[in-house]
Amino acid sequence: MKKQQTFETSLQELEKIVRGLEEGDLSLEDSLKLFEEGVKLSRECQERLNQAERRIEVLLKDENGNPALQTIEAGDLREEKQPKIKKRIVFEDDEDESPF
């Protein structure tokens, strides 16, 4: 039975996968395997965040010390980070500057 990784370890592994995919040096098959692993890790991380959010909602108390459910917006918990784009595909015959 595989021991479940910590959230931080899973997130680091997911970041490593993203870097590997962004580099673009992998074969299609290896990229697909890595992508599948990344999706799995992403879902696991999201579920852990959802569980943590539910725990926080239960633990919050109002000004009288009574337990009170309060909604926590995702934006309150994290910083916005701009995605990093390492490579861009440009087709010479394509007038559109979009990489897709």
In angstroms, the CA 82 to CA 14 distance is: 17
* Mean pLDDT, the chain, integer: 77
State the residue range of the domain holding 32.
7-71
Least confident of 14-23, 27-36, 41-50, 66-75: 66-75
Helical H segments across the chain, by residue range: 7-23, 28-59, 74-77
Enter the tokens of residue 14: 């997911």
Q: Is 28 among the domain residues?
A: yes
**3-class secondary structure, 79:** coil
Stretch 13-36: mean pLDDT: 94
Q: What is the CATH number of the domain that holds 21?
A: 1.10.287
Q: How many domains does the chain have?
A: 1
pTM: 0.56
